[in-house]
Amino acid sequence: MIKKLLKRLFYLALAFLLAGIWILLDAKPAVAQDKSVNYTHTVVSDRDFSNEDLVGAVFAAADMRRTDFHGSNLENAMFTQGKLINADLSGANLSGALMDRVVFDGSDLRNAIFIGTVMSSSSFENTKIAGADFTDAILDRYQIKLFCEKAEGVNPVTGVSTRESLGCR
């Protein structure tokens, strides 16, 4: 029985390996974008990125204390392990962004759009969330409970209430 299971696992692993090789051989070379922004492992504290088009920008593990992103388009941006302490993200569009393990303590998230955003294992001490849209966002269950205690307002762009987007009762 164990021998049969090991044989199946071997064939499954071999199938994945061959599929991966096939995908790599068939892939087209990546083309760099002219407007790509990469601030990985940098300090951009106190910077003004307000009302900018930063689609797909990378701020992984960046220190962004007191940084101003209000009104910016940050769709599909990456903020993994970043520090957005006392940052202004009000009115920003962060749909599809990867924001796991981010420290948002003291930040302003009012009227921001987080549709489909991954925000797991993040810290949100003293954040302002009125009017934020978290539709289909991935948040820790306990964080949703805490947000529901103070959720209010309706997002002016999407028309979705913060409570509804969090699935509050």
Write the CATH number for 95: 2.160.20.80
Total number of domains in the chain: 1
Domain assignment present for 4: no
Instruction: Say if 16 falls within a structural domain.
Output: no
Residues 88 and 82: their CA atoms lie apart, in Å, by 14
Residue 17 lies in a domain: no
pTM for the complete prediction? 0.79
Kindly report, residue by residue over 72-96, the tens digit of the pLDDT: 999 999 999 999 999 999 999 999 9
Task: Let me know if residue 12 belongs to a domain.
Answer: no
Check whether 33 has a pLDDT greater than 60: no
Which residue shows structure tokens 């970043």? 82
Residue 51 inside a domain? The answer is: yes
Average pLDDT score, the chain: 89
User: 76 and 96 in contact (C-beta within 8 Å)?
Assistant: yes
The per-residue pLDDT for range 101-158, each reduced to its tens digit, is 999 999 999 999 999 999 999 999 999 999 999 999 999 999 999 999 999 999 999 9
Containing domain of residue 149, as a range? 38-168
**Run of H or E residues at 147:** helix 141-150
pLDDT at 30: 43
Is residue 114 a contact partner of residue 95, using CB atoms and an 8 Å limit? yes
pLDDT cut 90: percent of the chain above it: 78
